[in-house]
Amino acid sequence: MFDLIRHKTASSKADILSGLTVALALVPEAVAFAFVAGVEPMVGLYAAFIMGLITALIGGRPGMISGATGAMAVVMVALVAEHGVQYLFAAVVLAGTIQILAGVLKLGKFIRIVPYPVMIGFVNGLAIVIFLAQLGQFKVPGADGTLEWLQGSQLYLMLGLVLMTMAIIHFLPKITTAVPSSLVAILAVTALTVVFDLDTRTVLDFLKSMSGDPNATIAGSLPSFSIPSVPFNLETLYIILPYACILAAVGLIESLLTLTVIDEMTGTRGKGNKECVGQGVANVTSGFFGAMGGCAMIGQSMININSGGRGRLSGIAAAIALLAFILFGSGFIEMIPLAALVGVMFIVVLGTFEWASIKMVRKVPKHDSFVILLVTIVTVFTDLAFAVFVGVIVSALVFAWEHAKHINVQVSEDKNGWKIYRLNGPLFFGSVAHFLDLFTAKDDPEDVIVDFQNSRVADHSALEAIDTLAERYVAAGKRLHLRHLSMDCKKLLHKAGDLVEVNLIEDPHYKVADDELD
């Protein structure tokens, strides 16, 4: 497996050079996602600059790169097609506001409930998505306007330059780590194609084919402040609110998961709630400066980490370098061969995919293997946020199903002839049906004790089950007593009030139980 972590500590030099590398790779990504969303290329480039700069300054994860992303672009395309780009800007502002609110309310901590199998499926699916996205660079418009695969010498040249880029990135660090190997690879392959006038597609060719404009260029000016030109009324809110909520959710999920992945890679810990606020401020700013907004980019973040970027300076350098390319260096950027950028992204794919998960399939529980595979597939065919939702829900259902099997009782009698059911396992919505089947009210003596010393009442479904059990014994003319309820369980009973009528009895050998007879 390729080792992405070649630099363990941060330095200003490494941050600046890695930022420059990221900026070079950001250009085609931002342009491509702009076209996916149905907006002009500069709208995507401005988003990459604004998102990258603001999240680097105030975000919760130094070294993480944000910009225009495909996950959010696919949500935007319908809004732009139906209502226009100004409504998109308004939706991005509202989405950013929602994200800021999520950070203020400290909702970022809920990313911790994402199970590890979901995380593995997330990174595996994302690696496949990145790989598939690069295959588009091996296609060119045919005579009828449709995309066709490269053939003959053009294909061999493209593959050769891609392999050359990957070889430089992989082997250069074994010689020196003074400069990022990705940056050296891009510069070397670009110089080779220019000096020998090799016939291979460049960033400019990509831009022209995407836009259909023979005069297309990434050259532009500074973004300017502008309030979205939409009516300020409830109808506008009705239009943009659904999109804003989805954009906010997708952006936060992808950003917080990327933050978690980078935390594990670097052995450090980012601040999830602060990242929510950073993403929100960046999106609000994007909307007011004619940009499409975005979120964290795991591919570009991996390039940054691999190139030595650890501090906030790396993200700042990437954003400023990108703006400099737009203002002054468009001619240089446009001559970079796509093969060099594809090679960089292929290395990212190799480093992102969790290869150990292939061997893990036979060693972990089958349901965990299923979740990994499910999230990977859903990520590839839908989007990252939906895949994570599916993975978390399936994991929760599996957890509930497995723990529902663990409840059982040990039956005995005390000296008074009372029957004692000693309950083992958690009592919650998933186990209540089996819990009720454990008791035989008709055959039991007049007094029955349910001992919860080795159990826990977890939710209102459990309380209802206890109440149902008590009603069965009352109907049979018998008394049900509860013993050894923990304090939190008794709080649930007190809160339920008259909804649950049972006897709580005291055991002198169990200090947390109170004498609370009806």
- The CATH number assigned to the domain with range 405-505 reads 3.30.750.24
Q: Which residues of 236-273 are buried (b: 16+ CB within 10 A; e: fewer)?
A: beebbeebbebbbbbbbbbbbbbbbbbeebbeeebbbb
Residue 490, classified by CB atoms within 10 Å of its CB into exposed (0-12), middle (13-18) or buried (19+), is middle
DSSP 363-374: TS-HHHHHHHHH
| Residue entry with tokens 């030109």 | 229
pLDDT at 515: 37
pLDDT at 1: 34
Q: Is 504 helix (H, G, I), strand (E, B) or coil?
A: strand
Instruction: Compute the average pLDDT of residues 265-273.
Output: 88
pLDDT at 147: 80
Band (pLDDT 50/70/90 cuts) for residue 505 is low
pLDDT at 497: 53
Instruction: Compute the average pLDDT of residues 32-56.
Output: 92
Q: Which whole-number Å values give the CA distances from 266 to 100, 269, 270, 294, 507, in the listed order?
A: 26, 8, 10, 24, 52
Give the residue extent of every domain in the chain. 12-128+152-358, 405-505
pLDDT tens figures, 433-474: 889 999 988 899 999 999 888 888 888 888 888 888 888 888
The whole model's pTM is what?
0.76
Query: Whose CA is closest to 268, among 303, 299, 300, 312?
Result: 312
pLDDT tens figures, 74-87: 889 889 999 999 99
pLDDT tens figures, 133-182: 888 889 887 777 788 899 999 999 999 999 999 999 999 999 988 888 99
Q: Is 257 helix (H, G, I), strand (E, B) or coil?
A: helix
**Relative orientation angle of helices 338-352 and 116-135, to the nearest 10 degrees:** 160
pLDDT at 22: 94
* pLDDT for 509 beyond 50: no
Q: Which amino acid is at 179?
A: V
- The winner for highest mean pLDDT among 26-30, 234-238, 328-332, 396-400 is 234-238
